[in-house]
Amino acid sequence: MRTWRALKSAGAGLLRDGAYLLPDMGSSRTVLEEQGAEIKAAGGSAHLLSFEYSESIQRLDVLKGKLTKLEEPEARRQLASVAREVSAIVARDFFPGESRKQMQGALADAENAINARFVPDEPRPAHQKIRSRDVKDYRRRTWATREHLWIDRVASAWLIRRCIDPHAKFVWLRRTKDCPKRAVGFDFDGAEFTHADSKVTFEVLIASFALDQDIGLVRLGALVHHLDVGGLPIAEGPGFSTIMAGARKLQPDDDALLKAMTPVLDSLYAEYASSGKKE
């Protein structure tokens, strides 16, 4: 009765037994949260629902509609802003359902739209088993990928130099059909190493060379996956994406870009690896 009186005095509308509606405002949320806490303290159960996911999806739709008018850093900044909001919603969404799935899909669609606008020719996932490779067969090789590096390609090139082929030489292709015959291709359709099912190229390289016991690389792979093909946000994602976009503007070519991004990736890996050991 105390809860009923409190909701009635707040102007809540009765939808059906046990379900009350208030406008989506901060004061309304406070009222409902207070009553929910009181119900739970008395041994009952209460669920607070809102249309926050729908609002975020609408913002993403607006963003996709104006991509042709935005520069890449601003488009990614707006996407990161929505992603942060979604992370906050997810943190208090204790009863996930269809709305969260729709939100995940909307984030992935927006990320893909931005990549299609600013990073064209992304590879399509190949449906094939990932074969085990021996690093001894890939030493002092020439590796080739598409020019104008973005997240997956710059991270994959860093991984190749760090863990597979320390003396690797890279060729940045304007057209993938011009890939040298003896070069090891990565991250383009038909390349030896590229997207496979749900894995991006960075993750395929980790699996191919049995590097998946390294928690630092696995966590870095999750970040690359999120930024390349979407999914639930990762805290470092917006910052890394912004740094990458800025570096692409500052560096004169892809060799310089890889050199500039190497200490950034080294730092991320070091933190991920040390955090994994602590856990």
Report the 3 state secondary structure along 222-244.
HHHHHHHHCCCCCCCHHHHHHHH
Q: Contact at 8 Å (CB) between 244 and 231?
A: no
For residue 163, give the DSSP letter.
Answer: I
DSSP letter, residue 148 = S
Domain layout of the chain by residue ranges:
2-41, 52-118, 135-278
pLDDT for the residue numbered 140: 97
Series of mean pLDDT values for 10-residue runs along the chain (279 residues): 83 79 74 82 76 84 93 84 83 73 84 80 80 96 96 97 98 95 95 94 97 96 89 81 92 98 98 74
- Rounded to whole angstroms, the Cα distance separating 112 from 3 reads 46
pLDDT of residue 278: 45
